[in-house]
Structure formats: structure tokens, C-alpha cells
Amino acid sequence: MKSLFEIQTESGQLWLDIKAQLDAKDAQLADQATEANLARQAAADAHAAALAAKDLELAALADQHAADLAQAASDQSAAVEAAKLAIQTNLDALVTAAEAAHASGDLESIGAVIAQARSYTTAARRAKIEADLAAAQAAAAAHAAALAALA
């Protein structure tokens, strides 16, 4: 069997032409590989930019959600304060009515004041207050979980 050197020597110019064609094909493949790498890098860069934009969008949404939760908490606090003020006003009115009924000795009016005062302290009223409190706590927990999920 002939060696590579012998084949090269015997083929003369043909070997040089084949070598030139192989070198040209290698260069062409190298160019294609470079173009493919550049295209992959451009796609990766575009993907990274899109992810960065989504991260900014998610951060803005999280900030807005946090602001909404804070506003909801503020609104709930204001509602609780309004309810508290209404109860205090009603109790003040009951005390005034009780004092007036006592001063006049009107037992029927005193009984009416006591009945109305009981509506603020009955077990049903307590159950409603506890249910409202449980609902408010559940809503607060849901808001906290939603905020934690965004973080």
C-alpha cells in the first residue's frame, strides 16, 4: 500500500487542487459555524433582554400589588374606626337615655334602654363580630400570601 507522501508525489497538481478545495471547504464550514454562533448569541441576547423586561414588569406589578394591599389595609382600618365610632355614639345615646329614664323613674323606658343595650352584647352580636374578625383575618392572610408569592 502506498503512503500518503507517495500519493502526494505521484498526483502532482491534482493533490494541490484537492488540498485547495478541502481548505476552501474548511474555510466555508468555519464561516458557517461562526455565523451560526453569532445567530445563537444574538438570540440569547434577545432572550436575556426579554427576560430583563419581564423582570421589570413583574417588579412593577409586585409594587402595585403591595400598594393595593396597603390601601386595602388602610380602608379596612378606616372601616373599623368608623364602626367603633358608631358603636360609641350609640352607647353614649343609651347612657343618656338610661340616665333620663332613671331620673324620671320611668321603668318602661329603662326596660327599653336595657333591651337595646343587650343587642350590643348578646351572643349573636358576639358571634357576628367574631365572624367578621375571622373574615378580615382570612383576607389579610390571603393578601399576605399573594404578596409573598410575588416576591
Question: What's residue 31's pLDDT?
Answer: 92
Question: What's residue 51's pLDDT?
Answer: 94
Query: How far apart (Å, rounded) are the C-alpha atoms in residues 73 and 139?
Result: 10
Query: How far apart (Å, rounded) are the C-alpha atoms in residues 149 and 68?
Result: 15
Instruction: For 64-79, write each residue's pLDDT tens digit.
Output: 888 888 888 888 888 8
Answer yes or no: pTM beyond 0.75: no
The radius of gyration of the chain's CA atoms, rounded to the nearest angstrom, is 43
Instruction: For 35-47, write each residue's pLDDT tens digit.
Output: 999 999 999 999 9
- Going from N- to C-terminal start, the domains of the chain cover 4-150
